[in-house]
Amino acid sequence: MSAVDDLFRRLRSEGRKALMPFVTAGDPDLQFTAAVLKELAARGAHMCELGIPYSDPIADGPVIQASYTRALEKKVKLEAILKTAGEVAPTLAAPIVTMVSYAIIHRHGPEKYVREARKAGIAGAIVPDLLVEESKEFAELCRKADFSLVQLVTPTTPRERAKRIAERSTGFLYYVSVTGITGERTQLPPDLIENVAWMRSQTELPICIGFGISTPEHVKLLAPAADGLIVGSALVRRVAAATTEPRDKVLKDVGEYVASLLAALN
């Protein structure tokens, strides 16, 4: 059982849902990333997603892409990210999972990635570009290491394929709310709750919804249908202000924003 499994087992027993904020590692620098992770956990976030910067993200919108570009321009490396995670993770009540391209995992070496990530206290990885047809070997490696492998289902994923993805995933299933890229939205698809309900009938995995969630109203609407909600671009945009504004002010803004979402969650 990974720390992700433990988290959702506890939340389900309490009838509660998870808020899972996303942060780009190294934007504007790893020192501030560590401070943001601590602030999120202190405010009550249940899990933190740590984005590993990548030059060619497949589903990220302009806000997260820009954060990746800023981090890469500062030569942020995977080794330094894992080192920072290793310093922060033991101090947090909230597990950390990485959002990482399989290209990075492959280049680093799958066994080495899992080993070093677990050593750093990371509980799992969301791998958006790992095809289910090519995931068997890595999924078995993750299972043996009690390292959650989270994969994504989208609104356009054929249902038989969605079931295969769920069977191959561990920890939780990431349900993409909209067709397209990440980013803040004023409206979410009217059939989203129905689609998530069908997915829930096909798997015992916790189902967490991401893409487009940015307001307390979104949280109130979707919390009854999901086990967790993922907030990315709206948070990354606030963190990006640290390049021009005092960091203590940015941290306060980030914390108050997350607190407003948590207040709407349970």
Q: Which of 5, 27, 49, 184 is the catalytic position?
A: 49
Closest C-alpha to 163, from 125, 206, 200, 124: 200
Sheet with 96-99: strands ordered across? 148-150, 122-126, 96-99, 48-51, 18-24, 228-231, 207-210, 173-176, 152-153
Cα-trace Rg, the chain = 17
Both tokens of 106, joined, read 């492959």
Please give the Cα distance from 62 to 57 (Å, whole number). Answer: 10
Q: Under a CB-based contact definition with an 8 Å cutoff, are residues 227 and 199 in contact? A: no
Instruction: In whole angstroms, give the CA distance from residue 240 to residue 237.
Output: 5
Question: Is 49 designated active site?
Answer: yes
**Tokens 């602030």, located at residue:** 39
Q: Which of 27, 39, 60, 184 is catalytic?
A: 60
Which residues form the catalytic set? Answer: 49, 60
